[in-house]
Structure 1
Amino acid sequence: MSGPSVRLGRLIGVLLVASVPQLPAAAQAAPARHDVVTWGASADLVGAAVADRSYRLVVRTSVGGDQLRIRLSNAFGDRPVTFGSVHAGVQRAGAALVPGSNRRLTFGGARSVTVPAGATALSDPLPGRAAAGLNLVVSLYTPDAAGPATGHGMAMQTSYAARGDHTAEEGAAPWTDTVGSWFYLDAVTVRTSATTGAVAALGDSITDGWQSSTDLNRRWPDYLARRLRAAAGTVRGVANEGISGNKVLADGAGQSALNRLERDVLSHPGVRTVFVFEGVNDIKAHTGVTAADLIAGYRRLTERAHAAGKCVVGATVGPFKGWAEWDPAAEAVRQEVNAFIRNSGTFDAVADFDRVLRNPYDPERIMPFFDNGDHLHPNDKGMQALADSVGLQSLECAAGPRAGAPAAAR
């Protein structure tokens, strides 16, 4: 027997409506469950909002589960934005969806939602299961959007746009425009075992994936997500909270890590570990930032994450000699900062990304094999090497200061 319904049933990762009848409450012995972030992207300004516009946004899940929910953000808007229709489905190819996978999302039972300026909106849970490693497609329609738009500028992923409301359509025909940003969507969560957690990577352009291969999910957090899926640990979700050009201390390319920590990391459900890989933009900007300034910033980040009950892993700042803003003074700051990250005991664990990337014959430079050509950003191989160097057990550690030296990533 063949046909669309049979083929659909064979597709791994399609959102399926649960059909198993519920047992009486007294007979149930289900384990505790909770929500965990399976995808995230830091919110920022992405230009002017466009009215009568649909977006078809392609994102990649990390941990599987059911009761999928999305979060829409108007964090940088100066007026309310209405989403007239929102759907979630599974990518088939390009803007086309797997037939039968596209399903309407509601908000408090309503088909549309208006999000005030500076706020977010969480959808109702969607019945059925979403697999790990799924190309999830969220389609949303903004009938009368105006003013600044919120989203994530550098997606390294092709998404699609169209005039009018085409969110319910599964075919690709209306989606004639391609976009390289994610608009309004900043998180996807699923419900899974209460023992399952997530790691949120707080970073800059290297974490954001600049110079990795577009549409292939080769940012270092993507490679880390693949490792976690194959491992036996309880940390399985990954939220990529990198922003290109971001700094620890100062706003500019997005709000600083200190100013966005709550929204982009601590607000996501299930986050057990905060992975901090930032600092090179503070160092190379030549704004007078000293190692002491940056160290104080790392301490504040760690204290706030610990106060929220999170574990914190710190990554050393990679080499960047050959980049236009490198000079010996900046290099001296980098070396002092990295000595602090490695040896201070401030972090619960350390990932020595500098050691991974540096050229053993010229340690102020990135290894040529990992260099995309600008002497700062790793290529796909470098991204994978970073992820492979992370000690997975370090992501499982309990939150709070540790006695003695930090655990090195293995």
Structure 2
Amino acid sequence: MTEALPWHATWTQAVTDFRGEEDEPGFANATVRMTVPASLDGSRVRLELSNRFGDAAVRIGRGAIGIGGQFFEVAFDGLASTEIPPGESRRTDPIALTVRHSDEIVVDLYLPEPTPYATAAGFRFSRSAPGDFVGASPFPLDGGTSEAIDESREFPAANTGAAGEPDETGWSLPAGGPFLRAIEVAGVKPRAVIVALGGSSTAMGWPQYTAALLPADAKIAVVNRGIAGNRIRLDAPPLTPSWGRSGLSRFDEDVLGTAGATHLVIAYNSNDWGLPGRIAPMAEMPSVNQLIEAYQELIDRAQAAGLRVILSTVMPLAPELLAEPEREDMRLVLNAWIRGSGHVVDFDAAVRSETDPSRLAAKYAAPDDTHPSVNGSKRLAQAMVDILQRLKLWPAEDV
């Protein structure tokens, strides 16, 4: 009997419920293309596809994985197509394929039948003109244009200015898309698989930037389980795609369910006490003690599963929240507790203004002065690399 291969995540996203989202139409006789970065080497690869929030089965007519311009068709128990029942996931059969750190992995999925946009991450992906274009290059886009595979892209792609140069003051929006939940590799033993659990600032890409900064021989995966608007304690209302299930609710699936996970970074910001009274009922406002209890529950559950935990401090609030001093007071008290609670990556100190610590530094702020820009996400990534080095996860001379 063949020994089972140990699998480790090289890329992930946290999918959420988009059934109430009207901006993204469904699919029918269309091919979806997603291009995402590998953070860990491997000699075998497989995909996890999720229909976690669908109301009906999703039929995958055909799929493929592409690396370096070459595509390899995937199978499901030896078959080219599969159905994913509502609420379930399917993994593809393993493919003997070399994946290297920082490779751009292209995933094509052909959806032959009417398929709602239900389970996704809400990030950048490409959809084709009508037809099966799995493995096609150039890829015919819906709307009559096409795109060729670009092996030179930096991930996440930055906004571009008028001259086409990267604009690192703009939004950091990583790739992702519908149904794809994880890419897993086998064949190389990693030093660590680090899962980043958090809200929008995590979802916007500092985990991917961290992985890109690490050397290939560090053998460390840094994978993203962030959801915009996500809270630690409370789930989103039904059919609210941008908030997702709470960190406590999705912990088992998104942290313990990440293949090979060894470490957890809890990297939340102010959604728990920033949303109430604005776009959530004021009755949902937590106390500081309730927030600390929720953090501690995540820590306890991770440690019980054998994971090492790193906490991030909470970055400055949205400017409009500073008009209510009690919200800023809550952030300061929580950060004081976090800084005394073990291994800490101080995201607050990394990106706050030197002249006004309650605000993001202009050079690290996106246009809303609330989220990190591309430059800000890279600054968070460097702070994360520094803490991983201090934890001696790989020899300093390798960096």
- TM interval, shorter chain, is 0.7 to 0.9
Distance 1:149 1:79, change over 3 A: same
2: CA distance between counterparts of 1:109 and 1:395?
A: 43
Distance 1:136 1:175, change over 3 A: farther
1: CA distance between counterparts of 2:196 and 2:32?
A: 26
Which of 2, 18, 27 aligns to 1:50? It is 27
Which amino acid in the other structure matches residue 188 of structure 2?
S
Distance 1:69 1:106, change over 3 A: same
Show the counterpart of 2:376: 382
Instruction: Please state if 1:82 is matched with 2:77.
Output: no
1: CA distance between counterparts of 2:82 and 2:127?
A: 21
2: CA distance between counterparts of 1:298 and 1:251?
A: 15
2: CA distance between counterparts of 1:262 and 1:86?
A: 28
Deviations 1:224-269 (A, max 9, x none): 1022225x644x1121111111111112211111111122221111
Distance 1:33 1:78, change over 3 A: closer
Instruction: Please state if 1:34 is matched with 2:19.
Output: no
Show the counterpart of 2:179: 184
1: CA distance between counterparts of 2:209 and 2:175?
A: 21
1: CA distance between counterparts of 2:218 and 2:138?
A: 39
Aligned residue pairs: how many? 344
How does the TM-score come out when normalised to structure 1? 0.78
Distance 1:246 1:304, change over 3 A: same
2: CA distance between counterparts of 1:83 and 1:201?
A: 29
What is the DSSP-based 3-state SS (H/G/I as helix, E as strand, rest coil) of the residue aligned with 2:18?
strand
Which amino acid in the other structure matches residue 264 of structure 1?
D
Show the counterpart of 2:304: 307
Distance 1:162 1:271, change over 3 A: farther
What is the DSSP-based 3-state SS (H/G/I as helix, E as strand, rest coil) of the residue aligned with 2:9?
strand
Contact (CA 8 Å) 2:43, 2:188: kept in 1 or not?
Answer: no
2: CA distance between counterparts of 1:294 and 1:392?
A: 26
Which amino acid in the other structure matches residue 373 of structure 1?
P
1: CA distance between counterparts of 2:390 and 2:299?
A: 15
Contact (CA 8 Å) 1:83, 1:113: kept in 2 or not?
Answer: yes
Show the counterpart of 1:124: 93
Show the counterpart of 1:292: 289
Which of 232, 239, 248 aligns to 2:232? It is 248
Contact (CA 8 Å) 2:27, 2:117: kept in 1 or not?
Answer: no
Superposed displacement of residue 382, structure 1: 1.6
What does 1:13-28 correspond to in 2, within 5 Å? none
1: CA distance between counterparts of 2:380 and 2:336?
A: 19
5+ long unaligned stretches in structure 2: 20-24, 146-173, 237-242, 277-281, 394-399
Instruction: Please state if 1:222 is matched with 2:208.
Output: yes
Deviations 1:338-391 (A, max 9, x none): 11111134xxx1111111122222111111221223221112222121111121
Show the counterpart of 1:277: 267
What is the DSSP-based 3-state SS (H/G/I as helix, E as strand, rest coil) of the residue aligned with 1:359?
coil
What is the DSSP-based 3-state SS (H/G/I as helix, E as strand, rest coil) of the residue aligned with 2:215?
helix
Superposed displacement of residue 49, structure 1: 3.9
Show the counterpart of 1:402: none
What does 1:161-200 correspond to in 2, within 5 Å? 161-173=128-140, 176=143, 182-200=177-195
Identity %: 31
5+ long unaligned stretches in structure 1: 1-24, 26-31, 92-97, 210-218, 398-410
1: CA distance between counterparts of 2:286 and 2:118?
A: 31
Which amino acid in the other structure matches residue 342 of structure 1?
R
Which amino acid in the other structure matches residue 233 of structure 2?
L
Superposed displacement of residue 196, structure 1: 3.4
2: CA distance between counterparts of 1:177 and 1:73?
A: 29
Deviations 1:47-74 (A, max 9, x none): 4642322111111111121111000000
What is the DSSP-based 3-state SS (H/G/I as helix, E as strand, rest coil) of the residue aligned with 1:381?
helix
Contact (CA 8 Å) 1:220, 1:384: kept in 2 or not?
Answer: yes
1: CA distance between counterparts of 2:134 and 2:43?
A: 22
How does the TM-score come out when normalised to structure 2? 0.80
Show the counterpart of 2:155: none
Distance 1:74 1:158, change over 3 A: closer
What is the DSSP-based 3-state SS (H/G/I as helix, E as strand, rest coil) of the residue aligned with 1:375?
coil
Contact (CA 8 Å) 2:43, 2:185: kept in 1 or not?
Answer: yes
1: CA distance between counterparts of 2:258 and 2:106?
A: 20
Show the counterpart of 2:73: 104
Superposed displacement of residue 164, structure 1: 2.3
Which protein shows a greater Rg? 1
2: CA distance between counterparts of 1:145 and 1:152?
A: 20
Higher strand share goes to which structure?
1
Contact (CA 8 Å) 1:320, 1:326: kept in 2 or not?
Answer: no
Superposed displacement of residue 159, structure 1: 2.6
Show the counterpart of 1:364: 358
Superposed displacement of residue 161, structure 1: 2.9
Distance 1:393 1:326, change over 3 A: farther
Q: Which moved more, 1:140-149 or 1:368-377?
A: 140-149
Which amino acid in the other structure matches residue 163 of structure 1?
P
